[in-house]
């Protein structure tokens, strides 16, 4: 298990965008970042669930977050540009982006994967991370030290049969991170890394393992140490690396 214990308000000056903030690991990370002083921009497709996270942050004494509704399956270039433009107008910069939005389909042999499922997996799990990062680069460049965290998976670091388009997308995430690192590390203050949370009790995992007892896996809130480390200034020297929560 990754060990890290930051000071109480070490994210006090940070403005952080979290995709997939309405549930699972994204929700846990948003609450954790807010608890440590950050201003959160909560992005997801379900406004009602995002508003619940918004209320939780405010009830816990966190800084007032912002809610941005975006369906990554339907988003186009204009949609992502609107997100970046709104953030620029409201906040002026971004200190961090956590790509935590994701989707999953039942684990199947490739010969049984439909083209619709293939497209959905790659669009949400890979393309969205590229597009959101690309449009947010000018905002990230305005920060003193910006961090982008791409959510990876064991299926994206090892060859695992039957994980189909999800595995392809997560292998793509690893390569996407390395490409951004190669292009940005010597020309900007932006660091990029991947983080594999490992098996945990989320709705996404239940799609892949419907018969598994969720009590056998850690809750997302128990895996936040590397999420905190990579978003704060203690990780400024870490760039282009693979991290794991467990």
Q: Can you read off the two tokens belonging to residue 30?
A: 């948003």
Q: Which of 167, 164, 169, 157 is nearest to 108 (CA)?
A: 164
Q: What are the two backbone dihedrals, phi and then psi, of residue 210, each rounded to the nearest 5 degrees?
A: -65, -25
Q: How confident is the model at residue 209 (pLDDT cuts 50, 70, 90)?
A: confident
Query: By percentage, how much of the chain surpasses pLDDT 70?
Result: 100
Q: Is 124 helix (H, G, I), strand (E, B) or coil?
A: helix
Q: What pLDDT does residue 214 have? A: 82
8 Å CB contact between 70 and 43: yes
Question: Which tens digits make up the pLDDT trace of 56-96?
Answer: 999 999 999 999 999 999 999 999 999 999 999 999 999 99
Mean pLDDT calculated for residue range 103-108: 89
Which CATH class name applies to 15-113+131-177+194-244?
A: alpha beta
8 Å CB contact between 113 and 165: yes
8 Å CB contact between 28 and 42: no
What's the chain's average pLDDT? 95
- For the chain, what are the domain ranges? 15-113+131-177+194-244
Distance CA 102, CA 124 (A): 6
Q: What pLDDT does residue 208 have? A: 79
Question: Which tens digits make up the pLDDT trace of 146-172?
Answer: 999 999 999 999 988 999 999 999 999
Q: What pLDDT does residue 199 have? A: 87
Q: What pLDDT does residue 204 have? A: 80
166 is a catalytic site residue: yes
- Residue in 33, 54, 80, 166 annotated catalytic: 166
Question: Which tens digits make up the pLDDT trace of 2-60?
Answer: 999 999 899 999 999 999 999 999 999 999 999 999 999 999 999 999 999 999 999 99
């Amino acid at each position: 298990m990754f060990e890290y214990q930051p000071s109480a308000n070490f994210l006090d000056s940070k403005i952080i965008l979290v995709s997939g903030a309405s549930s699972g690991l994204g929700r846990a990370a948003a609450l954790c970042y807010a608890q440590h002083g950050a201003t959160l921009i909560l992005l997801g497709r379900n406004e009602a669930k995002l508003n619940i996270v918004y209320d939780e942050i405010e009830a816990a004494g966190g800084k007032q977050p912002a809610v941005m509704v975006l369906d990554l399956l339907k988003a186009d270039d204009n949609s992502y540009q609107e997100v970046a433009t709104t953030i620029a107008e409201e906040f002026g910069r971004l200190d961090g982006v956590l790509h935590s939005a994701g989707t999953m389909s039942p684990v199947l042999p490739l010969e049984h994967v439909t083209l619709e499922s293939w497209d959905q997996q790659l669009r949400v799990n890979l393309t969205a991370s590229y597009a959101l990062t690309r449009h947010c680069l000018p905002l990230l460049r305005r920060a003193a030290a910006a961090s982008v965290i791409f959510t990876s998976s064991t299926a994206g670091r090892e060859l695992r049969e039957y994980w189909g388009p999800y595995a392809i997308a997560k292998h793509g995430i690893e390569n996407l991170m390395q490409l951004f690192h190669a292009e940005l590390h010597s020309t900007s203050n932006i660091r990029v890394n991947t983080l594999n949370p490992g098996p945990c009790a989320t709705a996404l995992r239940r799609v892949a393992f419907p018969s598994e007892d969720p009590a056998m896996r850690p809750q997302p809130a128990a895996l936040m140490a590397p999420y905190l480390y990579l978003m704060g200034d203690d990780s400024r020297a870490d760039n282009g690396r693979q991290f794991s929560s467990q």
